[in-house]
Structure 1
């Protein structure tokens, strides 16, 4: 299941804070701050999608992520490769290295990471 852009933005804040009350989530947004009702609606939808849950403390709720950032983005990138690059990681890598403004140093680091993965397989 995917998050909308607004949900993903809120999820980024929650991943960073790990646990947060509504006021913390609102404060973490850039100005103009979203309304509490907007954040509450997003949190409810994210809870329905099983991305977040909360612990109730009186009238306050402390929210926390149920999905790890790494797992979400791994699934996201794999879907991107499948849907836009004919399920070919090499087509994705070719596009990524040609269409982004990577420096020679960044490309060398990528090659080193790939070489390391080859050794472990």
Structure 2
């Protein structure tokens, strides 16, 4: 799924939509903080977000029910990758350096993260791969068995 960039107004509305997941226009108008935008403005943004692939619509009688298609976590990943590629040379080291210099993360945070060691994955058994990659060894073993008989 290709994720497109959002304007700040679209992003602000999407933050509300991510909380609702499925909603009607009236739900958005009720939950939007003051000063509330005009209903036509919200309706226009909904149409744009459908075109960008963030929302889907389902017609129910004369009104539309909207559903979020791009999860919040996916959008966060998209933004972080864009930031990393465009401003930090796609380097993990530069990301960490930036986070440290901006006091977003501390050494204690990093140490705590480092202490969370992922469980080691079991190495896969390569029985079939070994048979394919080393067929000569198998033949030698079979030949020795035949000679013993």
Runs of 4+ in 1 over 2 A off after TM superposition: 100-113
Aligned pair partner of 1:12 in 15, 18, 29: 15
Matches within 5 A, 1:98-117: 98-102=101-105, 106-113=109-116, 115-116=117-118
Q: CA deviation at 1:111?
A: 3.2
- Does 2:50 correspond to 1:47? yes
Q: CA deviation at 1:6?
A: 1.0
Q: Deviations over 1:33-81 (max 9, x none)?
A: 1111111111111111111011111121111111111111101101100
How many residue pairs match? The answer is 118
- Does 2:62 correspond to 1:59? yes
**Normalising to structure 1: TM-score of the pair?**
0.84
Q: Distance in 1 between matches of 2:103 and 2:80?
A: 16
Which residue number corresponds to residue 97 of structure 2?
A: 94
| Residues 108 and 41 of structure 1: CA distance in aligned 2, closer, same or farther (over 3 Å) | same
Determine which structure has more spread, i.e. the larger CA radius of gyration. 2
Q: CA deviation at 1:4?
A: 0.8
Q: Distance in 2 between matches of 1:42 and 1:86?
A: 33
Unaligned runs of 5+ in 2: 122-149
Which residue number corresponds to residue 34 of structure 2?
A: 31
